[in-house]
Structure 1
Amino acid sequence: MASATVTSKGQVTIPLDVRNQLGLGAGDRIEFILNDETGWYEILPANRSVTALKRIIRKPAKPVSIEEINSAIDE
């Protein structure tokens, strides 16, 4: 298991093997997301591609009409 130390300024150096597994490079951003089920934080690269979002967002059960979209915007 990789570990790191928090500095007095709250900074952490992410170990090289973890950066490689996450595909992180200099200047990349990361997100800290609390997993409500486990109570643990998850670290995710914030520079995900649009295709990575494809697995997160489900298709609607039925096609959404323009009228339904406009109604949702108005609400």
Structure 2
Amino acid sequence: MQESTVTSKGQTTLPKEVRTALGLSPGDRLRYMILDDGEVRLVRLQPVAGLAGLLKTRVSRVVSLEEMEAAIAEGATDL
């Protein structure tokens, strides 16, 4: 278990093992989530620029609007 000390200014240094586990680098931003039981979860924020290409399809074929509508209509009839 890792520990750190809080200074009079409310600052602390994250132990190296914690920084490594979160994949932190200088300048990264953190979010603190306070749970109902008082536990605090620390999460590294993802920069928006890092999300580029996240939804990029692996299919190289371009689909027409008509094909999309047909697929949607086919899916709707399966309900």
**Shorter-chain TM-score tier:** 0.5 to 0.7
Question: What RMSD over aligned residues (CA atoms) do the two structures have, in Å?
Answer: 1.9
Would you identify which runs of 4 or more consecutive aligned residues in structure 1 move more than 3 Å? 48-51
| CA deviation after TM superposition for structure 1 residue 13, in Å | 0.2
Structure 2: 5+ residue runs without aligned partners?
55-71, 73-79
Query: Would you say how many aligned residue pairs link Structure 1 and Structure 2?
Result: 51
Alignment of 1:1-75 (within 5 A): 1-36=1-36, 38-47=37-46, 49-50=50-51
Partners of 1:28 and 1:47 in 2: how far apart?
A: 9
Give percent identity, aligned residues only.
39
Structure with higher RCO (Cα < 8 A, 6+ apart): 1
| CA deviation after TM superposition for structure 1 residue 35, in Å | 1.6
Name the amino acid aligned to 1:33: M
Structure 1: 5+ residue runs without aligned partners?
52-62, 64-75
Name the amino acid aligned to 1:31: R
